[in-house]
Amino acid sequence: MLKKIITYIVITAFLVSCYQLEKPKKPNDLISKTEMVNILVDLKLLTSINGQNTKVLDSNNVDVDNYVYKKYSIDSMQFVLSSNYYASNLDEYIDIYEKVKDSLDALSEYYMELEGKPIDDEEGQDKRTVNKPKLKKELAKPALDK
């Protein structure tokens, strides 16, 4: 009987505490939706680079978060507050992430079209071709000739 009462009290307290959730207030320095899309695209690209080859960013001393904060002249608190605000407004949040997905898809299509096409210098001479698999193999080989 005591277990039932304790269980009832815990469940009731949990439901009441969740019911009182308030949406975050709009921050004074809210990042615009357009800028938030750009920030999230950059973060996704940079984290993808880091996921594929951690040495690329590490060897260039790039801290993904600080790079983005400097690029967009924002700080971590402004980003978190803006992100929380948009996350609490589901329609705006979905709109932002649909634009992020569209932007990433457009970038992917653009680079897929470039793959294998010649890259010309100023004089119009073909210097090299973009070939993703070959480039990956070249990056993986250690430089022994130097």
In contact, 85 and 22? CB cutoff 8 Å: no
Residue 78 predicted with pLDDT over 70: yes
pLDDT digits (tens, 9 = 90+) for 83-142: 999 998 889 999 999 999 999 999 988 888 888 777 665 665 555 555 444 433 333 344
Is 41 domain-assigned?
yes
Is 77 domain-assigned?
yes
Is 78 domain-assigned?
yes
pLDDT of residue 31: 95
Q: What is the DSSP letter of 131?
A: -
pLDDT of residue 54: 72
In contact, 59 and 52? CB cutoff 8 Å: no
Is 88 domain-assigned?
yes
When divided into structural domains, the chain yields a total of: 1
